[in-house]
Amino acid sequence: EILGLVETKHGGGNFVKEFSTINAMEAFHPLIQISENQDIITILEYRKIVEKGTIGLVVPKITPKDIESLEETYSMMVALANTGKSVKQASADHLFHYRLAQMANNPIITKVYEIINVILSSAMVEIIELLGTDLGLRYHRQLIDALKTGDKSLCESLMEAHIEETIQSILKRTK
């Protein structure tokens, strides 16, 4: 009942609520919210797997309006670069990746992204505080340009490289 999977009616018994995978994910939300301070490398490993696949789904579906949206987000990232406002910089970076998740047009990807939003956003702040914005800006520009060409393989490899280089840079700084 606490998870929202059954409903108890006084004098009537327990009843299973209408089931959908989206509702089931919502029910387990508190269990998925690991810790805001989850190990940053673990979060990046997750992102490397999911975001590489996500951008692969985006390529055949992307519209000129989607590209425009990514360009606007990228401009916001550039404007915030080197301002020392890591939370705002992280929000713009996070928005870029969230928009890609939405463009995949897959409700599971979007819902999972929303469920672990707190974890992803706090990790993004930590990454920017450790590494700055140059790495992210370089890869986001390349990702937009690759999306414009419609080259799925290039988009996937750039996303994987983006996150892998972030992992390696963090490992070098924290040793």
109-156: per-residue pLDDT in tens? 999 988 888 888 888 988 999 999 999 999 999 999 999 999 999 999
pLDDT of residue 18: 60
Q: Which pTM value belongs to this model?
A: 0.78
Residue 161: both structure tokens together? 């490289």
pLDDT beyond 70 at 160: yes
Summarize the confidence of residues 94-111 as an average pLDDT.
Answer: 95
Q: What's the pLDDT at 153?
A: 98
Confidence at residue 140, expressed as pLDDT on a 0 to 100 scale: 98
Integer Cα distance of 83 and 79 in angstroms: 8
Residue 49 has pLDDT above 90, yes or no: yes
Of 39, 32, 37, 28, nearest to 5 (Cα)? 28
Average pLDDT over residues 85-90: 89
Q: What is the 3-state secondary structure (H, E, C) of the chain?
A: CCCCCEEEECCCEEEECCCCHHHHHHHCHHHHCCCCCCCHHHHHHHHHHHHHHHHHHHCCCCCHHHHHHHHHHHHHHHHHCCCCCHHHHHHHHHHHHHHHHHHCCCHHHHHHHHHCHHHHHHHHHHHHHHHCCHHHHHHHHHHHHHHHHCCHHHHHHHHHHHHHHHHHHHHHHHC
Structure tokens, 50: 């999911």
